[in-house]
């Protein structure tokens, strides 16, 4: 029984291959077009995704990194948690800000600075 199924499978495979050889060029061209059609539709979608999401986000990240690198003492900054203060000390990876008239000082990581504001008028 098992041997008969194998022989039937081989016979069908040979028939399939012989039919494919006769009209193979037409089927290959049609198969290639069927494979490329969805790919061609995705290319504009990927381009729109890049220009609307990926590129603006990378520009924002570069601008934020530049802002943090250019911090100087006496800049007024806003942290990611919304605390506003004047920079009083900058170390390698930390920034100390003074947040009020009582001269409360808080130390933040440099990455916690979200924006730079106008200087505080004394």
Q: What are phi and psi of 20, to 5 degrees?
A: -70, -35
Reduced to 3 states (helix: H, G, I; strand: E, B; else coil), residue 19 is helix
Domain definitions of the chain by residue range:
2-65, 71-117
CB 48 within 8 A of CB 69: no
Q: What is the DSSP letter of 112?
A: G
The answer on pLDDT for 66 being more than 90 is: yes
20: alpha, beta or left, given left = phi > 0 and alpha = psi -120 to 50? alpha
The H or E element spanning position 106 is strand 105-109
Q: What is the pLDDT of residues 82-106, one digit of tens each?
A: 999 999 999 989 999 999 889 999 9
The answer on pLDDT for 80 being more than 90 is: yes
Q: How many CA atoms lie within 13 A of 87 on its CB side?
A: 26
- With a pLDDT cut of 70, the percent of the chain lying above it is 70
Query: Which class in CATH covers the domain with range 71-117?
Result: mainly beta
Q: What share of the chain is helix, strand, coil (3-state, %, to 5)?
A: 55, 20, 20
Predicted confidence at residue 82, as pLDDT, reads: 93
How are beta strands 84-90 and 94-98 bridged, if at all?
antiparallel
């Amino acid at each position: 029984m098992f041997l008969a199924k194998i022989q039937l499978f081989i016979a069908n495979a040979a028939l399939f291959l012989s039919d494919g050889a006769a009209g193979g060029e037409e089927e290959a061209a049609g198969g290639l077009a069927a494979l490329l059609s969805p790919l061609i539709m995705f290319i504009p979608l990927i381009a729109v995704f890049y220009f609307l999401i990926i590129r603006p986000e990378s520009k924002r990240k570069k601008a934020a990194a530049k802002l943090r690198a250019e911090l100087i003492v006496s800049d007024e900054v806003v942290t990611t948690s919304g605390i506003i203060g004047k920079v009083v000390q900058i170390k390698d990876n930390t920034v100390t800000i003074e947040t009020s008239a009582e001269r409360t000082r808080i130390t933040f990581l440099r990455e916690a600075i979200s924006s730079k504001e106008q200087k505080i008028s004394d």
